[in-house]
């Protein structure tokens, strides 16, 4: 754990700027063959034992649509989970660019490219460009990888608003570090808008059903195929803006406050049924949120008496047309039902972590998702979208840090999730998780 460092306000600004990944000036040092050909390499091992020992929690009511399951968060299976092995390559390319590549090996399912981007080092006036595939800077926790979290799992609102891996897209970001005594960073992002929950995209395609007919006495294979009825929308389809401000609170205290928002030109989803029925949602969306984090570090040994309080609130709005279609013949889908409307959903979490002893930290977290829960679930009988109840989750954990490069964490979750029938009785679930996380090799500085 870091010790308290005595700094002047100017030095504090410099530290915050570097921690945020935004250099205040370009390096004039020559890049040697050693740095050009030998990037910093780190490997992070993350494994979780999970046991839902009482009750069972599915997705919160109204948030099932468009939600993927990659065993990243609440969808951990009972038993042992090798959740993610992260391999990071990071280097200064030359006086003008830095580069980072982050690969994630998810259990035995294969290798996924999580991030691969460049950042500029030499733009004037505090400007910086990031380009490639990266985690967006909207909110606070979205840009963090699992080993940076203070809890085993991702907050519900981040997972269900942006997707299981957060708002992670291909695109470009332009940010500006203001020349002020306190930390102020503004940014805008132009993103492709492909798989994130707020900007899910399908595009034009075909819906195919295979079947058999035996009118002649012999079974013949049939292929029913028709267009899904969605349009191709060229990218980029998602734009975001964010602002982060960190006031100068002295040597032992630090804080950062943020606001962010985004708008997607396309929000599309497809759900195909084995019966041949096809459900589609087609529209656009926007989101907005606020975040805050406060840190107190009295200089205790190995994090003793260190205190962190963190929270975020987000709301999303989706205007969409829902269609339920069935085959009229082998190459034509007939629209049986159509509903147009707006889904508005929000969520919040608040968490705190305290250093109860050297190397030991304890944390508490409370969450609510769907405080306003006007969903995209179609009520065909009444020709409208359904409204559902709020879901809650409460978490407590204890983390032991043998060193700065490893930790072991035990956590309990209690989930009180609403279900689609708005029946609140008997749906609480208890879950226990035991996590270990190990970092091998050099790993770059994390944002504030």
Residue pLDDT tens, the chain, 448 long: 444 333 444 334 333 344 444 444 444 445 544 455 578 999 999 999 999 999 888 889 999 765 444 333 446 889 999 888 999 999 999 999 999 999 998 876 788 899 999 999 999 999 999 999 999 999 999 999 999 999 999 999 999 999 888 999 999 999 999 999 999 999 999 999 987 789 999 999 988 887 655 555 555 566 788 899 899 999 899 999 999 999 999 899 999 999 999 999 999 999 988 788 999 999 999 999 999 999 999 988 999 999 999 999 999 999 999 999 998 888 888 889 999 999 999 999 999 999 999 999 999 999 999 999 999 999 888 889 999 999 999 999 999 999 989 999 999 999 999 987 765 554 689 999 999 999 998 776 677 8
Tell me whether residue 32 is exposed, middle or buried, using C-beta atoms within 10 angstroms of its C-beta: 0 to 12, 13 to 18, 19 or more: exposed
The reported pLDDT for the residue numbered 219 is 53
What are the structure tokens assigned to 383, written together? 């020709």
pLDDT at 18: 40
- Tokens linked to 413: 């979750």
Give the per-residue pLDDT at 216.
57
Three-state DSSP state, 362: strand
Contact 22, 417 (CB under 8 A): no
Cα separation, 34 vs 47, in Å, equals 34
Cα–Cα distances in angstroms (integers) from residue 386 to residues 58, 159, 285, 373, in the given order = 18, 21, 18, 9
* Cα 119 to Cα 132: distance, rounded to the nearest angstrom: 9
Residue pair 346/372 in contact (Cβ under 8 Å)? The answer is yes
What's the burial of 199, exposed, middle or buried (CB within 10 Å: 0-12/13-18/19+)? buried
What pTM was computed for the model?
Answer: 0.86
Q: Do residues 103 and 46 touch, judged by C-beta distance below 8 A?
A: no
For residue 75, the model assigns a pLDDT of: 67
- Which residues lie below 8 Å from residue 317, measured CB to CB, with a gap of 6+? 285, 286, 287, 342, 343, 344
| Vertex 147 angle, CA 104 and 5, to 5° | 135
- Interatomic CA distance for residues 330 and 333, integer angstroms: 8
Give the span between the Cα atoms of 79 and 14, in whole angstroms.
Answer: 45
**What pLDDT, on a 0 to 100 scale, did the predictor assign at position 74?**
46
Q: pLDDT at position 259, please? A: 98
């Amino acid at each position: 754990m870091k010790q308290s460092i005595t700094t002047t306000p100017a030095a504090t600004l410099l530290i915050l700027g570097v921690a945020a990944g935004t250099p205040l000036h370009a390096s004039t040092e020559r890049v040697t063959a050693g740095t050009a050909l030998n990037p910093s390499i780190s490997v992070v091992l993350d494994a979780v034992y999970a046991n839902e020992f009482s009750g069972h929690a599915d997705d919160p009511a109204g948030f099932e649509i468009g939600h993927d399951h990659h065993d990243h968060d609440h969808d951990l299976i009972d038993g042992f989970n090798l959740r993610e092995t992260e391999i990071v390559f990071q280097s200064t390319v030359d006086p003008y660019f830095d580069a980072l590549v982050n690969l994630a090996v998810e259990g035995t399912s294969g290798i996924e490219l999580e991030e691969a981007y460049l950042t500029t080092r030499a733009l004037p006036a505090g400007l910086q460009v990031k380009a490639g595939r990266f985690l967006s800077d909207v909110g606070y926790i979205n840009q963090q990888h699992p080993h940076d979290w203070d809890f085993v799992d991702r907050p519900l609102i981040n997972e269900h608003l942006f997707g299981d891996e957060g708002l992670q897209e291909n695109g470009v970001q332009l940010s500006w570090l203001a020349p002020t005594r306190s930390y102020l960073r503004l940014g805008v992002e132009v993103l492709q808008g492909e798989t994130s929950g707020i900007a899910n995209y399908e595009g034009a395609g075909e819906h195919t059903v295979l079947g058999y007919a035996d009118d002649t006495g012999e079974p013949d294979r049939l292929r029913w195929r028709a267009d899904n009825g969605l349009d191709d929308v060229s990218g980029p389809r998602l734009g975001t803006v964010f602002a982060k401000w960190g006031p100068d609170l002295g040597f032992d205290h630090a804080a950062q406050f943020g606001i962010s928002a985004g708008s997607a030109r396309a929000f599309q989803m497809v759900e195909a049924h084995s019966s041949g029925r096809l459900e589609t949602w087609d529209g656009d969306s926007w989101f907005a949120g606020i975040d805050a984090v406060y840190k107190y570090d009295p200089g205790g040994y190995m994090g003793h008496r260190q205190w962190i309080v963190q929270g975020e609130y987000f709301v999303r709005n989706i205007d969409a047309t829902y269609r339920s279609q069935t085959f009229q013949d082998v190459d034509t889908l007939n629209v049986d039902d159509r509903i147009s409307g707006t889904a508005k959903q929000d969520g919040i979490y608040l968490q705190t972590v305290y250093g109860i002893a050297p190397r030991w930290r304890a944390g508490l977290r409370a969450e609510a998702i769907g405080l306003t829960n006007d969903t995209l679930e179609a009520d065909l009988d009444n020709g409208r979208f359904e409204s559902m109840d709020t879901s809650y989750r409460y978490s407590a954990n204890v983390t032991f840090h043998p060193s700065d490069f490893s930790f072991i964490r035990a956590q309990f979750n209690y989930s009180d999730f609403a279900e689609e029938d708005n029946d609140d009785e008997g749906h609480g679930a208890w879950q226990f998780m035991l996590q270990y996380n190990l970092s091998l090799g050099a790993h770059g500085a994390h944002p504030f």
